[in-house]
Amino acid sequence: MFYEGPPTANGLPHNGHVLTRVIKDLFHDIRQCAATQWLEKPVGYSCLPVEVEVEKQLGIHGKEAIERYGVEPFIRKCLESVLNILKSGKT
């Protein structure tokens, strides 16, 4: 099994993303030529960079500060941050 990812939800792809994709595809192609079964499993996005960015915007840090701010409002701010990045076309 080959686990792929995770790219960040609020960042641009970089050389590391390209390199891992090339290596993954190379192993995949070799295994396919050898007629062995190859299972790929994407693991989703890393949201930690989004949370860190929102913490910076709000001027808070850590779990306790997020709980004081409110978990639901913090989640909404994180979602807004990702949607703004998607709308701007920076991903």
Give the total number of structural domains in the chain: 1
Identify the domain containing residue 64 by its residue range. 2-88
Per-residue pLDDT in tens (0 to 9) along the chain, 91 residues: 555 555 666 666 667 767 777 777 777 777 666 666 666 665 666 677 889 899 999 999 999 999 999 999 999 999 898 888 778 766 5
46 burial level (CB within 10 Å; 0-12, 13-18, 19+): middle
Q: Does pTM surpass 0.75? A: no
- HEC per residue, the chain: CEEECCCECCCCCCHHHHHHHHHHHHHHHHHHHCCCCCCEEECCCECHHHHHHHHHHHCCCCHHHHHHHCHHHHHHHHHHHHHHHHHHCCC
